[in-house]
């Protein structure tokens, strides 16, 4: 059985959309449909039902899903085993939270390549929910993320934390922040709740952003007040674009490493995890108290 049929099936289980799976896998919708038909022909059962309301798994599809994950995990283990014995190259697919791409990213790539010189790396910026799903299905080998989706097959470890600071084009005092021009931070699932406890007056903001780069761009074009990464705050202040809202409390965001539990003790994954501990942990190059933002 071709492994891409399994990968396509599992991705479609997650997206429930032939269009979205095609976009995520970088193929056409007709290719997705063709792969599903091939898999259904091989198994002798229909796996999906398509309707105007969306795509749903059949009973047979639901029964096949855990076996498909096991097949993909077996393939991933075999691929890693070949790579680790030196008889062939292996590709490590690593997901990284969007807001972490600008933090030590080039140093991480350099360290990863030095630690595993015979390995090819594919980095993909994404959000925590999708990375957790990709780890469980074997689509990704490793993830650096904000919000773990706990699952019995996954292992997560806290690495450190980054910090978001409030800046404004209008004021440097929290009491003078205009709620109408305030942009709500939604960088992780927990942040809206944390923010609401800190700033109940601003919790009803009509605009919310989930990516630091987009927030910085909006502050530059529209103005207003928002939380951005510490380094972004420094850059905006130095450029004269914003002022620091000095009496607004910072918002910390923990960083986690995630991997499938079967890979936790593999030499390749242990090396990458140690690099991340050194980079983001309490003794990391830019850090005190496990902060790296």
State the Cα–Cα distance between residues 52 and 263, nearest whole angstrom: 40
Rounded to whole angstroms, how far apart are CA atoms 293 and 290?
10
Full-model pTM: 0.69
Are 1-88 and 162-252 equal in CATH topology? no
Question: 1-88 belongs to which CATH class?
Answer: mainly alpha
Torsion of CA 163, 164, 169, 173, to 10 degrees: -80
DSSP-based three-state secondary structure for 222: coil
Please report, for the chain, the start and end positions of each structural domain, with discontinuous segments joined by +: 1-88, 162-252
Q: Dump pLDDT digits (tens) for 118-162.
A: 888 889 888 998 899 889 878 889 999 999 988 888 999 999 999
**pLDDT confidence of residue 153:** 87
CATH of domain 162-252: 3.40.190.10
Give the pLDDT confidence of 88-100 residue by residue, as tens digits. Answer: 557 888 999 999 9
């Amino acid at each position: 059985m071709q492994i891409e049929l399994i990968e396509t099936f599992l991705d479609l289980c997650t997206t429930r959309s032939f269009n979205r799976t095609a976009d995520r896998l970088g193929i056409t919708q007709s290719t997705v449909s063709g792969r599903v038909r091939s898999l259904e022909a091989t198994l002798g059962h229909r796996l999906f039902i398509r309707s105007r309301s969306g795509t749903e798994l059949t009973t047979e599809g639901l029964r096949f899903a855990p076996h498909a994950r096991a097949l993909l995990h077996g393939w991933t283990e075999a691929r890693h085993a070949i790579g680790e014995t030196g008889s062939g190259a292996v590709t490590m697919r690593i997901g990284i939270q969007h807001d972490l791409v600008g933090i030590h990213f080039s140093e991480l790539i350099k360290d990863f390549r030095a630690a595993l010189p015979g390995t090819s790396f594919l980095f993909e910026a994404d959000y925590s929910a999708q990375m957790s799903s990709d780890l469980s299905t074997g689509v990704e080998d490793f993830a650096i993320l904000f919000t773990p989706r706990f699952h019995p097959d996954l292992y997560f470890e806290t690495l450190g934390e980054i910090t978001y600071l409030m800046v404004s084009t209008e004021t440097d005092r929290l009491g003078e922040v205009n709620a109408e021009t305030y942009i709500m931070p939604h960088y992780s699932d927990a942040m809206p709740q944390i923010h609401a406890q800190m700033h109940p007056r601003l919790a009803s903001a009509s605009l919310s952003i989930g990516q630091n780069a987009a927030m910085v761009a909006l502050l530059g074009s529209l103005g207003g007040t928002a939380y951005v990464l510490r380094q972004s705050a420094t850059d905006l202040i130095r450029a004269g674009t914003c002022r620091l809202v000095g009496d607004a409390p910072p918002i910390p965001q923990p960083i986690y490493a995630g991997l499938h539990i079967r890979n936790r003790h593999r030499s390749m994954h242990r090396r990458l995890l140690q690099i991340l501990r050194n980079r983001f942990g309490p003794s990391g190059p830019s850090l005190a108290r496990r902060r790296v933002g």
